[in-house]
Amino acid sequence: MVPHPDDESLGCGGLIALLRQQNCRVTIVVTTDGSQSHPNSVKFPKGDRIAIRKQEIEMALSVLMVSPKDIHFMNGKDAALPVKEDPDFFKYKNLLKEILVGVKPQLCLVPYELDPHCDHRATWQLLNSALSEIKNNGITVWEYPIWLYALAKPEDIPQLQEGELKYVEISSYLPQKTAAIHTHVSQITRLIDDDPEGFLLTADMIENFLTGKEYFLERATLQKEKTLSADYFQSLYQQTRDPWNFEASDYERQKYQTTLDFLPDSPYPNALEIGCSIGVLTSMLRTKCSHLLSIDISDTALQVAKERLKDYLEVEFEVRAIPHNFPDGNYDLVVMSEVGYYLSMPDLLLAKDKIVNSLVQGGTLILVHWTHYVVDYPLTGDQVHEVFLKDDRLLHKSFTRTTDYRLDVFTLI
C-alpha cells in the first residue's frame, strides 16, 4: 500500500527487491494520484503531474523487478484521500477490498497508522477497514514509517510491545533501492521549476532510508493469529518425505555438526528436541543424551523418525504442537532448531516461558534458525532469538552466525 509514488522506494524498496529476488509476487496499490506535490505549477498542469508521477513509479518498480501489470492505481486525490468520516471512503475501501480478494496476499505493507501525513493515515484506515471485512484472511500487516522520522509529535510515536519492532537487512539491495528512489526525479530535483513552494525530498531525508535496514512495525493488535497449523506441515510431508532435504543437504549436515559442537556437556540426562521432523538431527543428538524426547506437530514426519531410530530405546517420540501442547517434565537440554519462526509472536512468547520453566537450573537451551525472510513464516529467525536474548532468566553463553543461520546457547541462571 503506497499513498504516493516514491513511498514504495523509500519505505520498503529493499524488501520489495528481496522478495522479487526470491520469486515472490509483489503487488503495489497506489492510493493517490500524487498530483499535489507542486499544486501551483502552470508549466506542468495537474494532468501532466499525474502522468509524470505514474511514469516515475513504474520506472522505480521496474528497477525493483515489479511488473507494471502488478501495479494498481486507485487515483485518489493527493492530500485529500478520504478518511472514515468522508462519504467517499467506502468507495475506495470497496475498491481496495476487491484488489485484496483477487490478489490474496500473505503480507501487507502499509504506512504506520499515525505517520504524520493525512494520506498515509487514510491509506492505513482503508486497509484496516478492508481487512476487517475479509474473514479468516490470515494476512500479516507490517507498517512502515516515512514522515515519522522528521515530523512526528510525541503523541505520534508508537508504544510498542516486545517483538513488535522489526527490521529487514537490505544492504545487498541498496544499489537497487537507491536507483529506484532516484527515478522519482520530480520529487528530488527542481524538474517542476515554476512552483517555489513545491515539494522537494531532501538528501537528509533520503539518507534516513539508506542505512542498510528497513524498519517495520508488526503490532499484535493488527495481526490475525498466524501460527502455522498442523495441516500446513501435513500437506508438505504428504507431498514429499523430506520437504527441506534434511537427509542430503550439505547445509543441514554442516549446521547439525555445528549444533553438536556447541553442546560439549554430554551426556545430558534428560533432553527435549522441539520439532524433530524426520529425525535426522535426532539421530545425532541422541549421542549426547541419556534420554531424549523428540516432538513434532506432524504425525507423518514422526513415522519416518521412528523408523529411523527404532533401535535406540533412549529416544522417545510424541506428536505435540507448542506452545499449547508443551510436554511436562524438567530438562537438562532443550533444542529448538528451525521451529520458532512458525509461531505468531504471542505464541512464541508463551513458548519461551514454557521452555524456560522446563529447564533445570544450569540447564542448556540451544536455538538454531535460518535468518532469511520467508513469506510463509510469521516471524524471522532473528526475531525468535531476540525474544530469548531479552529474558533475564537466561545467561547467553555462546553464539555463532553464518550468512544463512544463527545459533545461540543459553543457560538457566
Which three three-digit cell numbers place residue 143? Answer: 507498517
- Which pLDDT score is estimated for 52? 98
Q: Which residues of the chain have pLDDT under 50?
A: 224
Instruction: Decide if 129 is inside a domain.
Output: yes
Name the grid cell of 359: 529447564
How high is the pLDDT of residue 28? 98
Question: What type of residue is 216?
Answer: F
Same-domain status, 141 and 241: no
Residue 170 belongs to domain with CATH number: 3.40.50.10320
Q: Which of 222, 239, 262 is the last residue of a domain?
A: 222
The pTM for the full model equals 0.59
User: Is the same domain home to 54 and 134?
Assistant: yes
- The answer to whether residues 59 and 190 belong to one domain is yes
- Residues 209, 236, single domain; the answer is no
**What tens digit of pLDDT does each residue of 229-287 get?**
888 898 889 889 999 999 999 999 999 999 999 997 778 999 999 999 999 999 999 99
Identify whether residues 240 and 363 lie together within a single domain: yes
Residue with cell 527435549: 272
Closest of 64, 27, 66 to residue 173, by C-alpha: 64
d(CA 314, CA 190): 73
Cell 499515525, located at residue: 114
Domain boundary among 174, 199, 222: 222
Q: Tell me the β-bridge partners of 168.
A: 214
Question: Chain centroid to CA 232: how far?
Answer: 18
Same domain, 215 and 250: no
2 part of a folded domain: no
- Across the beta sheet with 394-401, the strand order is 315-319, 292-296, 271-274, 331-337, 359-370, 405-412, 394-401
Q: Max alpha carbon distance in the chain (Å)?
A: 84
Q: State the pLDDT at residue 226.
A: 67
167 belongs to a structural domain: yes
Main-chain phi, psi angles of 46, to 5 degrees: -50, -45
- Give how many domains the chain has, as a whole number: 2
Write out the three cell numbers for 104: 490474496
- Asked if residue 287 and residue 168 are part of one domain, the reply reads no
Looking at the structure, do residues 81 and 130 belong to the same domain, yes or no? yes
d(CA 167, CA 162): 14
pLDDT of residue 221: 64
> Is 371 contained in some domain?
yes
Q: Which among 274, 260, 296, 284 has a CA at the least distance from the CA of 355?
A: 274
Which of 201, 222, 243 is the last residue in one of the domains? Answer: 222
141-176-201 Cα angle (round to 5): 75
Domain shared by 283 and 142, yes or no: no
- Do 114 and 165 lie in a common domain? yes
Looking at the domain assignment, is residue 245 inside a domain? yes
Q: Is residue 1 part of a domain?
A: no
Q: How far is it, in rounded angstroms, from Cα 374 to Cα 341?
A: 9
- What's the chain look like in SS3? CECCCCHHHHHHHHHHHHHHHCCCCCCEEEEECCHHHCCCCCCCCHHHHHHHHHHHHHHHHHHCCCCHHHEEEEEECCCCCCCCCCCCHHHHHHHHHHHHHHHCCCEEEEECCCCCCHHHHHHHHHHHHHHHCCCCCCCEEEEECCCHHHHCCHHHCCCCCCCCEEEEECHHHHHHHHHHHCCCHHHHCCCCCCCCCCCCCCHHHHHCCCCCEEEEECCHHHCCCCCCCHHHHHHHHHHCCCCCCCCCCHHHHHHHHHHHHCCCCCCECCEEEECCCCCHHHHHHHHHECCEEEEECCHHHHHHHHHHCCCCCCEEEEECCCCCCCCCCCEEEEEEECCHHHCCHHHHHHHHHHHHHHEEEEEEEEEEEECCCCCCCCCCHHHHHHHHHCCCCEEEEEEEECCCEEEEEEEEC
CB 281 within 8 A of CB 337: yes
57 within domain boundaries: yes
Domain ranges, residue 13: 7-222
Residues 155 and 81 in one domain: yes
Q: How far apart are CA 207 and CA 205, in angstroms?
A: 5
CATH number at residue 350: 3.40.50.150
Residues 259 and 407 grouped into a single domain: yes
pLDDT the model gives residue 350 = 95
